[in-house]
């Protein structure tokens, strides 16, 4: 089947290099995406005969346990707009066999390496942006169980429109919900963003690609806290468990699926506890636990010191505001201490590449790390501190 469709969305998104740029009307930006280049940020896609195709070796999201569903991503370069915009329309020329899908995800730059959440642009279903942005980015997601889809052309138009009502502004710390966590395991498997899982790995999986970071980045990270008081900050590198289109942390009005469920309640939890959707996930599988997040083994065992699946409190860092930084270590996670000293008790971990929200800063022990030497420590939460020497990009943090 060959088809074309028009997508209008109100979300911050970014596109990349242009080919021939159509004429733009006042207050809008038009461009054509370059689909001829695949680089290190892209996974599971290839260019052949002038078309972008899903590669036969593309991975399936490990956490979703759907080995037959391959997924590939082409992440386009950020596109600077001629005028601020909060919507992007896309015209896609593609061939999509039965059982396959081509989706256009979009996000907008908020400054300081911060981005809005990825939101899918759908035909006739605009998505609201929280604010107008000057730079957008687009990601093509190709999925298939058998025959691969291909995309031959992608034209884009950024403009401003009236936002939908009903969106809820996040507090400074970000949206936070209590959900059931399971251990992902699957060492040697490949996550949705192309990361190969290693022993005692530090990352998490959420059941929607709206919060999926590219490999070796933490633009979308979470803070996961257990009832024992320990927390880990970890990047979202996989899609699952159970579902792949369940962004349950978002308001019901903007949720991808299951719009009749309360904000903060995963579909798997509703299916398991209340028989929602006949007790099944989006693929028709009987839900065996109420999980709303999967934890890498290192996050599960070392960060939170869990011994079994458990209820945890998850804060979705990208939904917050205020100072933020990125953990940069040689590879191992950064110790989170109970005070501003390397001899204080360890009360959690912050994974390499994870984004952390900073409440305030204090003066403490001088530490040397990847970001130089400093006696400044950042408080990430009550009684939880990390050394500035291992955190990059924080701006505007006030004294505690």
Do 193 and 58 sit in the same domain of this protein? no
CATH of the domain at 115: 2.60.120
CATH of the domain at 330: 2.30.30
pLDDT of residue 325: 95
Residue 370 is assigned to a structural domain of this protein: yes
DSSP string, 70-128: EEEEEEPPPEEEEEEESEEEEEEEEE--TT-EEEEEEEEEEETTEEPPPEEEBBTB---
Do 282 and 330 sit in the same domain of this protein? no
Residue 169 is assigned to a structural domain of this protein: no
Please state, in angstroms and rounded to a whole number, the distance separating the CA atoms of residues 373 and 231.
25
Task: Report helix, strand or coil for 144.
Answer: strand
Provide the residue range defining the domain that includes 253: 176-319
The answer to whether the Cα torsion of 209, 210, 213, 214 is positive or negative is: positive
Residue 123 is assigned to a structural domain of this protein: yes
Structural element, H or E, at residue 376: strand 372-381
Do 15 and 129 sit in the same domain of this protein? yes
Q: Which two tokens stand for residue 255?
A: 């949720």
Candidates 295, 298, 292; CA nearest to 271 is: 292
Do 274 and 331 sit in the same domain of this protein? no
pLDDT of residue 27: 79
Please state, in angstroms and rounded to a whole number, the distance separating the CA atoms of residues 67 and 51.
25
Please state, in angstroms and rounded to a whole number, the distance separating the CA atoms of residues 53 and 208.
22
Do 150 and 243 sit in the same domain of this protein? no
Residue 314 is assigned to a structural domain of this protein: yes
Do 330 and 314 sit in the same domain of this protein? no
pLDDT of residue 329: 97
Per-residue tens of pLDDT for the chain, all 400 residues: 333 333 333 233 333 333 334 455 667 899 999 998 888 888 889 998 889 999 888 888 888 877 678 889 999 999 999 999 888 888 889 999 988 899 899 899 998 888 999 987 776 655 456 789 999 999 998 998 888 899 999 988 888 886 544 444 445 668 999 999 999 999 999 999 999 999 999 999 999 999 999 999 999 999 999 999 999 999 999 999 999 999 999 999 889 999 999 999 999 999 999 999 999 999 999 999 999 999 999 999 999 999 999 999 999 999 988 899 999 999 999 999 999 999 999 999 999 999 999 999 999 999 999 999 999 999 999 999 999 999 999 999 999 9
Do 143 and 14 sit in the same domain of this protein? yes
pLDDT of residue 165: 40
Residue 164 is assigned to a structural domain of this protein: no
Residue that terminates a domain, selected from 110, 129, 159: 159
Residue that terminates a domain, selected from 130, 159, 188: 159
Do 222 and 358 sit in the same domain of this protein? no
| Gyration radius (Cα) of the chain, Å | 21
Do 152 and 10 sit in the same domain of this protein? yes
Q: Which two tokens stand for residue 116?
A: 């809005």
Do 307 and 339 sit in the same domain of this protein? no
Give residue-wise pLDDT tens across range 8-21.
Answer: 332 333 333 333 34
pLDDT of residue 2: 32
pLDDT of residue 25: 64
Do 151 and 188 sit in the same domain of this protein? no
Do 23 and 98 sit in the same domain of this protein? yes
Q: How many folded domains does the chain comprise?
A: 3
Residue 400 is assigned to a structural domain of this protein: no
Residue that terminates a domain, selected from 286, 319, 352: 319
CATH of the domain at 275: 2.40.40.10
* Bridge partners for 232 per DSSP: 224, 349
């Amino acid at each position: 089947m060959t088809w074309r469709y028009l997508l209008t969305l109100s979300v911050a998104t970014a596109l990349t290099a242009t080919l021939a740029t159509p004429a733009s009307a006042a207050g809008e930006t038009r461009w054509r995406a370059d689909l001829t280049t695949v680089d290190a940020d892209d996974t599971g896609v290839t260019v052949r005969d002038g078309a972008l195709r899903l590669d036969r070796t593309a991975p399936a999201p490990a956490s979703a346990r759907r080995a037959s569903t391959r997924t590939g991503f082409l992440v386009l370069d950020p596109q600077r707009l001629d005028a601020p915009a909060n919507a992007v329309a896309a015209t896609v020329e593609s061939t999509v066999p039965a059982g396959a899908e081509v989706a256009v995800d979009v996000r907008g730059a908020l400054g300081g390496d911060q981005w809005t959440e990825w939101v899918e642009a759908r035909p006739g279903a605009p998505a609201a942006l929280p604010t107008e942005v000057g730079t957008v980015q687009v990601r093509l997601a190709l999925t298939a169980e058998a025959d691969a889809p291909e995309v031959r052309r992608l034209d884009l138009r950024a403009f401003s429109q009236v936002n939908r009502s009903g969106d809820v502004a996040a507090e400074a710390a970000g949206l936070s919900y209590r959900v059931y966590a399971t251990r992902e395991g699957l060492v040697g498997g490949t996550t949705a963003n192309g990361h190969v899982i290693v022993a005692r790995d530090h990352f998490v999986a959420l059941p929607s690609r709206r919060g999926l970071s590219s490999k070796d980045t933490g633009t979308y990270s979470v803070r996961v806290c257990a009832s024992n008081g320990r927390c880990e900050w970890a990047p979202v590198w996989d899609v699952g468990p159970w579902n792949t289109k369940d962004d349950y942390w978002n308001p019901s009005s903007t949720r991808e699926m299951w719009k009749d469920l309360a904000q903060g309640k995963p579909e798997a939890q509703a299916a398991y506890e209340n028989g929602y959707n006949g007790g099944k996930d989006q693929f028709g599988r009987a839900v065996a636990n109420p999980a709303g997040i999967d934890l890498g083994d290192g996050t599960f065992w070392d960060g939170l010191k869990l011994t079994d699946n458990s209820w945890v409190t998850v804060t979705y860092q990208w939904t917050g505001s205020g100072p933020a930084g990125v953990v940069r270590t040689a590879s191992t996670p950064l110790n989170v201490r109970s005070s501003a000293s390397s001899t204080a008790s360890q009360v959690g971990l912050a994974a390499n590449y994870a984004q952390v929200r900073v409440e305030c800063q204090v003066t403490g022990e001088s530490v040397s790390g990847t970001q130089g030497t400093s006696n400044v420590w950042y408080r990430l939460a009550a009684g939880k501190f990390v050394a500035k020497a291992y955190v990059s990009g924080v701006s505007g943090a006030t004294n505690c």
